[in-house]
Amino acid sequence: QKEVEQNSGPLSVPEGAIASLNCTYSDRGSQSFFWYRQYSGKSPELIMSIYSNGDKEDGRFTAQLNKASQYVSLLIRDSQPSDSATYLCAFKAAGNKLTFGGGTRVLVKP
Amino acid sequence: DGGITQSPKYLFRKEGQNVTLSCEQNLNHDAMYWYRQDPGQGLRLIYYSQIVNDFQKGDIAEGYSVSREKKESFPLTVTSAQKNPTAFYLCASSIAGAGGRNEQFFGPGTRLTVL
């Protein structure tokens, strides 16, 4: 079993709709979780951090964490074509390292 | 402006050559990291350093070497022992501390191609 599992996609979303991305992880001791956005050919950009169970909202983004079920999700409301990118989830593992998933590619269609 | 710079943006290497990728940050972060990304893949950790003059191997350190002589700089050398070095190389930094949350911020990356 991989440490971090993400559906590779592509996740096709109509403009204005909600994009829902999921990520499951295997390390029950993880305390910090992150979502990065990566445009094609560019480096990852941190868009959300979440540390406790529940929801965290930042603009059109909402991260949801459920440690008991070992998953973290990202909702993108009112999706725009500029949201088309690959979204990487990551969690803080032992030794102060991050472990990354393979990413979910999102395509927002006008 | 605070940030992380990487150079060069593109690098071409001949078989058998060692090449060094530069990473500099002015965020006053203690920890720095090197990742490798292959097409359609996630990030894999090569080396990381949480303090000057100290560094640890990541998951795929073979064929790579690093140094951390200054807080601001963490260069990566891709040696001839790395058999498949063509990839996108990303440097990141964060505030260190095992108890910290470790938000990592990335530089723009170096794309290395072996000819």
- Alpha-carbon distance of B46 to B76, in angstroms, equals 9
Cα A75–Cα B104–Cα A108 angle in degrees, nearest 5: 30
- Find the residue in A nearest to B10 (Cα): A41
- B103 contacts in A (CB within 8 Å)? 32, 34, 46, 49
Which positions 18-57 of A are in contact with B (Cβ < 8 Å)? Answer: 31-32, 34, 42-46, 49, 51
- Alpha-carbon distance of B2 to A17, in angstroms, equals 35
* Chain segment B40-82, per-residue pLDDT in tens: 888 999 999 999 999 999 999 999 999 999 999 999 999 988 8
CA distances from B107 to A27, A58, A108 (A): 27, 23, 26
CA distances from A9 to A13, B11, B63 (A): 11, 30, 32
Q: What is the mean pLDDT of residues B75-92?
A: 94
Whether residue A93 has pLDDT greater than 90: no
Residue located via tokens 């996108």: B88
CB contact under 8 A, B96 and A96: yes
Pick the residue of A5, A25, A96, A100 with the most B CBs within 10 A to test the interface with B by mutation: A96
* Chain segment A9-65, per-residue pLDDT in tens: 999 999 999 999 999 998 888 888 999 999 999 999 999 999 999 999 999 999 999
CA distances from B81 to A98, B61, B65, B85 (A): 26, 11, 11, 9
Whether residue B9 has pLDDT greater than 80: yes
Whether residue B100 has pLDDT greater than 80: no
Q: Measure in Å the smallest separation between the Cα of B14 and chain A Cα atoms.
A: 23
Which positions 32-61 of B are in contact with A (Cβ < 8 Å)? Answer: 33, 40-45, 48, 50, 56, 58
Whether residue B1 has pLDDT greater than 70: no
- Alpha-carbon distance of A107 to B6, in angstroms, equals 29
Whether residue A90 has pLDDT greater than 80: yes
Any residues with CB less than 8 A from the CB of A4 and at least 6 apart, and which?
Answer: A23, A24, A25, A26, A89, A90, A91, A99, A100, A101, A102, B42
Q: Tell me what pLDDT residue B97 has.
A: 61
